[in-house]
């Protein structure tokens, strides 16, 4: 069953013109894509469930080199039929249907999807992917553009290959003055750590004494507001320069970059428009990444609720991240 045939059947069952049915079906496919990008999961009756699985960065050895592969988000499909169904809610919220129209549309789609899967017919869902029989197996093949959108935060991360034994050769070639120089550098680092500890305690008092949970809200304009206990340092114009993320909190990550310069370029327009976005560095397998984040939430559900209300252009590649350890994130002035 290709897209054209499904559209024909949909038009006949709903008493619509073929062009009108095609527009309706394409709109629903777009609604499914938008839902997946925003919430990473989707269940459609008669079709199955879709979910986004995060694959962490990997490290492997090829004998002559160590290879670091960046993290990856994969779209998975589970054909197991379940009671979950978001067809009606999508039709109402994203296609502006009434409850009655949405219910009829959902029943019709469920019937068409079930028949197509049972008969292993080819079926195209524009923007989402296709179901087809290849190499003797009937499978779901995600749309390439959708997978690129799901991995938007990793678009600047490339596979890194490090030759082995390189450090050993360098060590054998070290001149005699390296040891004294190393001692000087070590003393400097110790002083920097001590100064940093003093500075941190001076400007960012410990958050341990506060036992109240803090929920940061994001309005539909994308501007973040917080309670005073979020410990924001305000700059002229009302945009905070720093924010304390406490272990166990949740934050919304808008994008991730390998280059600090590119991250700052993306950060500047967000902050100039009044959005409290911050640069949140991360380390993985010895590599440093730069995340753009906003918001501070006491639970994942609270973050998901606010993410749902944010502008579409901001959430296309956004995801929710739990804070593993207390950290101070900064805006442009704190870097």
Task: Please write the tens of the pLDDT for every residue from 189-215.
Answer: 555 544 444 333 333 333 333 333 333
My answer on whether 319 and 224 are in the same domain is: yes
CA-CA distance, 117 to 132, in Å (whole number)? 9
Residue 314 lies in a domain: yes
Statement to judge: residues 139 and 17 lie in one domain: yes
Task: Specify whether 143 is located in the same domain as 262.
Answer: no
Element (H, E) at 225: strand 224-225
Per-residue pLDDT at 168 = 42
Residue 143 forms part of a structural domain:
yes
Q: Same structural domain for residues 41 and 139? A: yes
* pLDDT computed for residue 195 by the predictor: 47
User: Do 110 and 249 have their domain in common?
Assistant: no
232 and 328 fall within a common domain: yes
In a domain, 44, yes or no: yes
| Predicted pLDDT at 194 | 47
Q: What is the pLDDT of residue 166?
A: 46
Let me know whether 39 and 142 are in one domain.
yes
Residue 118 belongs to some domain of the structure: yes
Determine the distance from the C-alpha atom of residue 241 to the mean position of all C-alpha atoms in its chain, rounded to a whole number. 23
* 245 shares a domain with 128: no
pLDDT at res. 188: 55
Residue 332: what pLDDT? 64
pLDDT of 198 reads 39
As to burial, measured by CB atoms within 10 angstroms (0-12 exposed, 13-18 middle, 19+ buried), residue 136 is exposed
Within-domain flag for 193: no
Q: Is the domain of 95 the same as that of 222?
A: no
- Structural domain containing residue 109: 3-150
| Shared-domain flag, residues 141 and 261 | no
CATH of residue 295? 3.30.70.1070
From the centroid of its chain, how far is CA 17?
Answer: 38
Q: Are residues 45 and 134 in the same domain?
A: yes
Domain end marker among 150, 173, 202: 150
What's the predicted TM-score (pTM) here? Answer: 0.51
Last residue in a domain, options 150, 183, 206: 150
Residues 6+ apart with CB under 8 A from 77: 48, 49, 50, 129, 140, 142
Residue 168 forms part of a structural domain: no
Domain assignment present for 189: no
92: CATH: 4.10.520.10
Encode burial over 62-94: b for 16+ CB neighbours within 10 A, e otherwise: eeeebebbbbbbebebeeebeeebbbbebbbee
Q: What is the pLDDT of residue 207?
A: 33
Is 183 contained in some domain? Answer: no
Within this chain, do residues 15 and 137 fall inside the same structural domain, yes or no? Answer: yes
- Overall number of domains in the chain: 2
> 99-118 and 18-39 are packed helices; what angle lies between their axes, rounded to 10 degrees?
90
Contact in structure between 317 and 252 (CB atoms under 8 Å): no
Q: Which residues of the chain have pLDDT under 70?
A: 1-4, 81-83, 164-240, 285, 313-316, 332-335
Domain finish residue from 150, 175, 209: 150
């Amino acid at each position: 069953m290709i897209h054209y045939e499904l559209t024909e059947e949909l038009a006949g069952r709903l008493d619509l013109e073929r062009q009108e049915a095609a527009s309706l079906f394409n709109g629903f496919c777009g609604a499914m894509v938008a839902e997946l990008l925003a919430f990473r999961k989707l269940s459609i009756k008669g079709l199955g469930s879709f979910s986004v699985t995060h694959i962490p960065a990997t490290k492997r050895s090829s004998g002559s080199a160590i290879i670091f592969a960046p993290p990856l988000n994969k779209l998975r499909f589970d054909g197991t039929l379940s009671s979950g169904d978001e067809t009606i809610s999508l039709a109402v919220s994203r296609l502006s249907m009434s409850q009655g129209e949405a219910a009829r549309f959902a029943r019709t789609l469920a019937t068409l999807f079930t028949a197509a899967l049972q008969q292993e017919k080819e079926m195209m869902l524009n923007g989402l992917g296709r179901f087809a029989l290849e190499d003797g197996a009937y499978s779901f093949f995600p749309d390439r553009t959708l997978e690129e959108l799901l991995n938007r935060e990793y678009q600047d991360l490339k596979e890194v290959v490090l030759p082995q034994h390189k450090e050993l050769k360098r060590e054998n070639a070290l001149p005699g003055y390296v040891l004294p120089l190393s001692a000087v550098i070590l003393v400097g680092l110790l002083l920097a750590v001590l100064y940093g500890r003093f500075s941190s305690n001076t400007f960012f008092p410990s958050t341990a004494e506060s036992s109240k949970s803090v929920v940061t809200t994001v309005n539909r304009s994308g501007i973040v507001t917080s309670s005073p206990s979020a410990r924001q340092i305000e700059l002229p114009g009302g945009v905070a320069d720093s924010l304390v993320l406490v272990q166990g909190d949740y934050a919304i990550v808008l994008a991730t970059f390998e280059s600090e310069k590119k991250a700052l370029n993306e950060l500047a327009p967000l902050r100039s428009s009044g959005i409290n976005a911050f640069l949140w560095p991360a380390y993985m397998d010895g590599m440093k990444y730069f995340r753009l984040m906003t918001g501070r939430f006491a639970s994942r559900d609270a973050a998901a609720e606010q993410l749902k209300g944010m502008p579409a252009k901001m959430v296309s590649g956004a995801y929710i991240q739990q804070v593993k350890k207390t950290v101070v994130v900064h805006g442009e002035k704190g870097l």
